[in-house]
Amino acid sequence: MTERYLKALEFATKKHKGQFRSGGLEYVTHPIAVAEILKEKGYGEDEQIAGLFHDLLEDTDATEDEILTLGGENVLTAVKLLTKAKGYVMSEYISGILANPIAKAVKGADRLHNLRCAVVCSDEFKKRYIKESNEWYLSFDEEIKVAVKALEETL
């Protein structure tokens, strides 16, 4: 791992401190897993750092300037596209992500990891998440369809 990646990891860990996922794991395990999925799929450092940072603007007090300093312009652009604005329109949100290769890669890995982890969620949540995945995210990563099917089998 490069010094840049390690600094990004340290920053994401600090910013997500005290946050937890459904099932009780520390929240930072999610962006780390997203970055790992991206690495396994052969994506580079910008994609991996964007994976670490993808929820920072939405879920922490991290600033765009901090993300720019640690990640660079390409990472910041992707993270901004991945951040749902208040009152967002899903079709516009998705089209913005699809227009940016880094954001698309990160969103695919994010959705894949969330689908794999949703087994701990309520059946109601699983049904909503499966429906949304089928409607919007199947084209993001070939493994998403498999993960959706696996989640359906837990209902």
- pLDDT, tens digit, 9 for 90 and up, residues 68-125: 999 999 999 999 999 999 999 999 999 999 999 999 999 999 999 999 999 999 999 9
Q: For the chain, which residues make up each domain, given as ranges?
A: 3-152
* 3-152: in CATH 1.10.3210.10: yes
Q: What is the token pair recorded at 140? A: 């993001």
Where on the phi/psi map is residue 74: left (φ > 0), alpha (ψ -120 to 50), or beta? alpha
Amino acid at 122: S
Task: Report residue 73 CA to chain centroid gap.
Answer: 18
Q: Quick check: 19 pLDDT over 90?
A: yes
pTM over 0.95: yes
